[in-house]
Structure 1
Amino acid sequence: MPNMYARGILFGKMVLELGDTCVAKNEKLGLSCDLEFKTKGFFSGTYNAIAGRLRRNTTDVAEISGRWSHVMDIKNNKTGKKRVLFDAQKDGQNVVPKWVPPEDEQESNESRRLWSQLTKAINAKDMEWATDAKSTVEDAQREDRKRREEKGEVYVPRFFELKDGRWVPKFIVPKDPKEAVAAVQNWIFPSATATEVKVKTETSTNPSIAPPPIALPT
């Protein structure tokens, strides 16, 4: 994954942007894509720019360009034709609303709860607070790791396992979409009641009956 950079800390408006490169692969189809998240220059360029090369095995077949926050295009290297790959503002309207439980019902290591102080600091544009909040979480994780090493304990991931050099889920997703939603929810939240699973399943497959947004702490 790309890194995140904070610009304008000392002067001007603070902006967070993604930078560096990452690789996405589909081994089944023999496809891979080298993606570069470009940071804005001091005198030129734009925020959230992206560029990439799509390969089938060792042959370049397409190029990706645009802005990941707006419109991304893909150009076929063989025909030279360009089309819209993803329009964040237009296609984003079709994304199913996210449903998450309130923070006080989440486990202590779930992202929203674990990084809640950092999120508040970023929203408040307080970089000193953000740095302290980030360090607090990371220091606690280092201490946990140190304690495990001292006791000779081996950390076993809850949802993933290492197979052939890759981390894969300890779970096989059913092919039927509705069955898959319910099965994944039961896998991650085994204590959920049948009613909760039914509501979440219907919400995931039918956005029109989504429950009202949950007001999370800010």
Structure 2
Amino acid sequence: MTMELGGKVTIECERSNHRAELEFKLKPFFGGSTSINQISGKIKSGEEVLASLDGHWDGEVYLNDLKNGNTEIFWNPTSEVRRQRLKRHIVLFEEQTDFESERLWQHVTSAINKGDQHKATQEKFVLEEEQRNASRERKENGTEWKPLLFRHDAATNEWHYKYEDLRPWDPLNDIAQFEKDGILQTMERYLGSDPERSAKDCRHRKTSDQPSNHSQNTESSCSTPESVQELSDDDGFESPCTRCGKEMSHLKEIHMTVLSLQKAQQDIHRNLTALNKKSFYRKASSENLLLDSRCWFLICVFLTCQLFINYVFK
């Protein structure tokens, strides 16, 4: 059992007026393994098509320059590229809520891992039927379903993540970004500001407050269950800082460790500078002593010559 996500994605650059139109294709009814994970697209400048893209997003993608007819590899997930991918971090199963995917689909997953296709189909049917019944009950009772982490844009009929942070990263103020309970949060330093403000280590920004040049229409080749989690934006969520918990404490410890290392580095640099100065002074003093010895020697030679001259011409 597999699920494919397909659709069109548009990426625009307002500065250069370039636009990339990509299409993630679903496997056709008739087709082999080469028809899986296909991607195609165009790169435009205004209405002029500059190049085309085609290939497989999990393999090689080729860029075809329409002006000179040259073709080159645009994307190739080699073993080196795969090693550079971010490590996957998941929430422990016992800490997940009832409507998180791993817990919600645990019986279906267990049947698939055991190779029991019949059991997996039954568990999937039971789960989806419960969700359909819950959806009918909400309609009959006039209850509005309020997603917890996403909002629906009626104008474009698209779903957007509520807490996406699209502002540029500030290396002088931002320490680390992490996810807690599905919400992206940023730990900040707040240099040169009110000390009381430093307690606010988390920042949440809704997608509705951010301009976005990305549009995405997706379709699925299999049924996707509707979530029955009826939680409002305020239900079950405390203020961001009170939800940070162990992650924030761990990040603060790392930050304090880095600061202590920086302080130790500064102390070492200061000590080395002092040693260099002492070494310079010692060298200068030794040169002065040597200079004084030479002067006394020359004076003695001069006096000896003077006495000899006086004796000869006496």
Q: Residue type matched to 1:162 in 2?
A: H
CA contact (8 A) 2:41 2:54 kept: no
Give me the TM-score of the superposition, normalised by structure 1: 0.66
1:50 matches 2:38:
yes
Q: Percent identical across equivalent pairs?
A: 19
Of 21, 26, 35, 1:32 maps to 21
- The answer to whether the aligner puts 1:66 opposite 2:60 as a matched pair is no
CA distance in 1, matches of 2:250, 2:76: 30
Is the contact between residue 71 and residue 86 of structure 1 (CA under 8 Å) also seen in structure 2? yes
Corresponding residue of 2:246: 195
Match in the other structure for 1:181? 178
Whether the 8 Å contact between 1:36 and 1:50 is mirrored in structure 2 is: yes
Indicate how the Cα distance of structure 1 residues 40 and 83 shifts in structure 2: closer, same or farther if over 3 A, else same. farther
Cα distance in 1 between the residues matched to 2:57 and 2:38: 6
Q: Letter of the aligned partner of 1:70 in structure 2?
A: G
Aligned residues between the structures:
187
Tell me by how many angstroms 1:142 deviates.
0.9
Task: Please report the RMSD computed on the Cα atoms of aligned residues, expressed in angstroms.
Answer: 3.6
Identify the structure with bigger relative contact order (alpha carbons < 8 Å, sequence gap 6+). 2
The reply on whether 1:145 has 2:135 as its aligned counterpart is: yes
Counterpart CA distance in 2 for 1:110 and 1:172 is 19
| Structure 1 match to 2:65 | 76
Q: Which runs of 5+ in 1 are unaligned?
A: 1-5, 7-15, 204-218
Deviation larger for 190-199 or 156-165: 190-199
In 1, are the aligned partners of 2:43 and 2:50 still within 8 Å (CA)?
yes
- 1:34 Cα shift? 2.0
Match of residue 113 from structure 2:
123
Q: How many angstroms apart in 2 are the aligned matches of 1:201 and 1:96? A: 22
Distance in structure 1 (CA, Å) of the matches to 2:168 and 2:250: 20
More helix by percentage: 2
Q: Is the 8 A contact 1:72 1:87 kept in 2?
A: no
Looking at CA atoms only, which structure, 1 or 2, has the larger radius of gyration? 2
Measure the CA separation in 2 of the matches of 1:111 and 1:155.
18
Aligned to 2:145: 155
Contact 1:161 1:167 in 2 (8 A): yes
- Provide the rounded CA distance (Å) in 2 between the counterparts of 1:178 and 1:28: 28
- Contact 1:65 1:72 survives alignment (8 Å): yes
So what's the TM-score if we normalise by structure 2?
Answer: 0.49
User: How far did 1:50 drift?
Assistant: 1.4
Cα distance 1:32–1:129, how it changes in 2: closer, same or farther (>3 A)? same
Report the residue type matching 1:87 in the other structure.
P
CA distance in 1, matches of 2:22, 2:253: 34
Give the deviation of 1:200 after TM superposition. Answer: 7.7
The answer (yes or no) to whether the contact 2:62–2:71 under 8 Å persists in 1 is no
Q: CA deviation at 1:155?
A: 0.7
Where 1:167 maps in the other structure, the secondary structure is: strand
Say if 2:43 and 2:52, in contact at 8 Å, map to a contact too.
no
In the alignment, does 2:161 pair up with 1:169? yes
Q: 2:253 and 2:36 mapped to 1: Cα distance?
A: 34
Whole-angstrom distance in 2 between the partners of 1:48 and 1:34:
13
CA contact (8 A) 1:108 1:114 kept: yes
The structure 2 residue matched to 1:100, chosen from 68, 90, 93, is: 90
Say which structure is richer in strand.
Answer: 1
Give SS of 1:147's match: helix
Gaps of 5+ in 2: 186-201, 205-236, 255-314
* Aligned counterparts of 2:253 and 2:42: Cα–Cα separation in 1: 36
1:17–1:47 Cα contact (<8 Å) kept: no
Deviation, 1:178, is: 4.6
Which range moved further: 180-189 or 65-74?
180-189
> C-alpha separation between the residues in 1 aligned to 2:252 and 2:88?
12
* Alpha-carbon separation, structure 2, partners of 1:157 and 1:175: 27
